[in-house]
Structure 1
């Protein structure tokens, strides 16, 4: 399956605060918050939702097409992605803006406060999926990830017009979308990805009940961090997939993107949804163990062992073909 991943491509500036944000907040003064957190460390890493997902797909043996907009400062990052199996020929390069920046501080409880500068991402709407498909030869799925809102809506409409199945992953951009725009992103999606908070926000934005959301998409995947993930389909019981336990959680940045990459790789290789969730959770825990969303490495045997320990030998045997690079 050839998958195009659209969305943000960014540089991550990750800091660690050796305390708890909650201890610094005064309940009756939240309307006038002015806080500064002294961080213990700063790590600069490659990131962006689309790039993170595409890299995960490539490491699982697929040949993803990355679609987004970057600045002229993308040269070294782009070369590194290509060396790792990600196609970047369809990435638009801005003549005037820098590649997007994600600045995030994480506390001891893995709560995060972040700011995202869009930069060149604002030009993503200039990319056409028709031209991407022409260059790639074929597209069996397009991931519409968090991006310039106009680009997200345009990609979704173009998928419908071209008859290309799409996965809706509005993520943090739900905060920028109104009700009609949110409904437009979800209607007809093969897959819908949200976390628990985004699931509630999506229902609030659209005015839809849980059942109504499930009637708009084929599969709704709701991630819950350490609680694992839930997979919903209209008229079917929800499936629950436990997270892969770890005692070495380091940095949650990019963990959700890794889950998506694992799940999508499973779908691309015709795994049942539940088993695709196993692969997603295993890859997510791998990313949780390092600083930065793209710094992880894994051996297929180790990933299979973690799946066997979490879900049993049959699950590991079922997922094993997804870890064999063609």
Structure 2
């Protein structure tokens, strides 16, 4: 299954605040917040939604096609992704801007305050999916993940025009985009990814009820944080998939991307939706246990042992027939 992962490619600057953001806010003065947080740690890591997702899929043994815009400073990052099995031949290189930057501070409750500098990502709207499909002999699915909003709309429209199934993942851009654009991104998607808060925001901004939203997408996948994930389809009962236990919580950055990587890998292998979500949950757990969206390693025996512990031996055997972790 040939899956193109479109979206942001960035460098993450991750900081840790030893306290709670909520303790610094004055309820009566939220209209004029002026705060500075003295942080204890700074980690600079490879990131970006699309790059994180593609990395995770490659670590599970697939060859995802990464589609996004970067700057001339991308050479080392490209080498890292290629070495792990990501197809980087459809990445657009800007002659004017640096690769995007994500700056995020996380508190003791794992709440986050973040800013994102688009840089070269603003040029992603110049990317055509047609040449990508021609190079590969066709595409089976296009994931439209957070990116330059104009690029997201272009990729969605082109996927519709070319008859390529697409998955909508507007998540981090929901705050910026108006309801009309969100409707355009979501309508007709084979899959819709969001967390439970983002799902509420999608419904609020589009004006669609829960039922109306399910009328417009094939399968809705909602991550629920420590409660796992839920899968909804029109006319069928919701499927809840329990989380995979973690060894510890370090940093939540990139957890949602890792879930998508695991879920899409399961789809590529033709596995049932429950297995797809289980793979997503366990991949996400590996990210939660590290700082950075690409700092984890998936080892074949360890991954399958943890999968069996979380979801049972029969489920692990079904997954074992397909997964080929990058780290043996």
C-alpha separation in 1, matches of 2:141 and 2:247: 35
C-alpha separation in 2, matches of 1:312 and 1:80: 34
2:256 is aligned to: 256
1:274 is aligned to: 274
RMSD: 1.1
1:98 is aligned to: 98
2:73 is aligned to: 73
1:201 is aligned to: 201
C-alpha separation in 2, matches of 1:227 and 1:291: 21
Contact 1:252 1:288 in 2 (8 A): yes
Contact 1:265 1:322 in 2 (8 A): no
**In the alignment, structure 1 residue 110 sits paired with structure 2 residue 115:** no
2:191 is aligned to: 191
C-alpha separation in 2, matches of 1:266 and 1:247: 23
1:300 is aligned to: 300
C-alpha separation in 2, matches of 1:279 and 1:322: 11
TM-score by length of 2: 0.97
C-alpha separation in 2, matches of 1:103 and 1:36: 14
Contact 1:152 1:185 in 2 (8 A): yes
Contact 2:299 2:325 in 1 (8 A): no
1:124 is aligned to: 124
Contact 1:7 1:147 in 2 (8 A): yes
C-alpha separation in 2, matches of 1:314 and 1:189: 31
1:86 is aligned to: 86
C-alpha separation in 1, matches of 2:325 and 2:228: 26
Extract structure 1 runs of 4+ deviating beyond 3 A: none
C-alpha separation in 1, matches of 2:325 and 2:103: 34
Any stretches of 5+ residues in structure 1 without a counterpart? Answer: none
Give 1:308 deviation, angstroms. 1.7
C-alpha distance after superposition, 1:272-293 (max 9, x if no partner): 1011111000000011111100
1:28 is aligned to: 28
Contact 1:65 1:136 in 2 (8 A): no
C-alpha separation in 2, matches of 1:300 and 1:106: 31
Find the residue that maps to 1:278 and give its secondary structure.
helix
C-alpha separation in 1, matches of 2:177 and 2:15: 28
C-alpha separation in 2, matches of 1:185 and 1:208: 14
Find the residue that maps to 2:121 and give its secondary structure.
helix
C-alpha distance after superposition, 1:30-61 (max 9, x if no partner): 11111111111100000000000001111111
* Superposition pairs of residues 151-170 of structure 1, within 5 angstroms: 151-170=151-170
**In the alignment, structure 1 residue 323 sits paired with structure 2 residue 326:** no
TM-score by length of 1: 0.98
Give 1:321 deviation, angstroms. 2.1
C-alpha distance after superposition, 1:255-276 (max 9, x if no partner): 0000000000001111110111
Give 1:136 deviation, angstroms. 2.2
Find the residue that maps to 2:157 and give its secondary structure.
helix
Name which of structure 1's ranges 133-142 and 159-168 shifts more when overlaid on structure 2.
Answer: 133-142
C-alpha separation in 1, matches of 2:247 and 2:58: 27
Any stretches of 5+ residues in structure 2 without a counterpart? Answer: none
